[in-house]
Amino acid sequence: MKKSLATLGLLAAAALALAGCTDSGASPSPAATDDAAGGDEALTPVRVAALPIAETGALWGAIDEGIFEEHGLEVEVVPAQGGAQAIPALLSGDIQFAIGQPFGPIRADLQDLGIVVIGNYASSLAEGKDVNAVVSLADSGITTPADLAGKRVSVNSLGAAGDVTIMKAVQDDGGDPTTIEFVEVAFPDAQAQLDAGNIDAAWVPDPFMSQIVGAGGNLVVHPYQATIPGLPLLVDITTQQLLDSDPELVSEFAAAMTEALDWAAANEDAVRAAIVANMGIPEAAADSITLPEFTSEVDVAAIEELVGLAIEFGVLDAEPDLDTLIQPQ
């Protein structure tokens, strides 16, 4: 059964506050044991936080395909709003892994919390229709990046790649990025917030991007593509403590994820079917979704460029130690 991080986060946040700048990490998962009936090794349960967005179709589909079971893992997907929101649950041991934007682990590294990136999950597209965009309603008068100056723009996590790349796109288009008011809104709630007039524009991935634009809305800009084409969208995250205490589990999960992403890249129809099954959207809508590049290879140079922009715009005040933070398995 899927469980939300909303409840877990309240408990885990207290653990994070107590942890301060320590390396408190997730507890190791129970070791696999022999099955009494057949002598086969039982599956090791792991809990993975992931956003309820189209990109997670690769994970859902790979689980259904049995890829993780082949690696001895029984995966429970825990819905999360973003990588940063999953950090407390990782530190408290409520989950073992998370899939989220790079900024969550970047900020955790600056706090010396012992969070590591063990692989890439998905990257944006360098050209053509990208996987996320800033969108606005048809009658908003917002059609270009410069039009976002002085407006309320939603992102799913404040102070992350969304607002950093949006500010850069606005600056490059001649607007003043310092006048944007960013509002934190979960992706599934963006349409309702636009309709209610609580925000002027929203940064969303598919299927929400295509749904809003398909209903007559404006596609204002693909901010990743406009600033750092091919920027990593999502990365695989765990704790240094788990990596040190159970390297075999982390290695097996990373190997399963690499196989899962390779499978997803070669089986788009199955990924779309998983999106339909897990997000409850019509098949026609899933067919129109722009899928990312599913890859386990981390583009460190692109993340370095993102960090540079974040420092330029005052979102970060220091550089993370990427050699410590990024530890591909």
Q: Which residue did the predictor score with more confidence, 11 or 260?
A: 260
- 85-110 pLDDT per residue, tens: 789 999 999 999 999 989 999 999 99
Side-chain-facing half-sphere of 267: CA atoms under 13 Å = 19
Q: Token digits for 230?
A: 């091919």
Helix (H) and strand (E) counts in the chain: 15, 11
127 neighbors 328 (Cβ within 8 angstroms): no
According to the model, what pLDDT value does residue 129 have?
A: 92
H-type alpha helices, 125-219: 161-172, 190-195, 208-214
According to the model, what pLDDT value does residue 82 have?
A: 59
Residue 218's pLDDT band, with cuts at 50, 70 and 90, is very high
Q: What 3-state class would DSSP assign to 257?
A: helix
Q: CB count, 10 Å around CB of 293?
A: 17
Given 3-state DSSP classes, what are the helix, strand and coil percentages for the chain, each rounded to the nearest 5?
45, 20, 35
Confidence check: pLDDT of 259 > 70:
yes
According to the model, what pLDDT value does residue 288 have?
A: 86
Confidence check: pLDDT of 39 > 60:
no
Residue 84's pLDDT band, with cuts at 50, 70 and 90, is low
Confidence check: pLDDT of 36 > 70:
no
Phi first, then psi: what are they for 47, rounded to 5°? -110, 130
According to the model, what pLDDT value does residue 271 have?
A: 97
According to the model, what pLDDT value does residue 41 have?
A: 72
- 59-80 pLDDT per residue, tens: 999 999 999 999 999 999 998 8
The percent of residues in the chain predicted with pLDDT above 70, rounded, is 87
d(CA 321, CA 160): 17
58, amino acid identity:
A
Model pTM score = 0.81
Residue 40's pLDDT band, with cuts at 50, 70 and 90, is low
Can the peptide bond before residue 207 be classed as cis, meaning omega within 30 degrees of 0? yes
- CA distance readout (Å), 263 to 79, 133, 148, 287, 288: 22, 26, 38, 18, 20
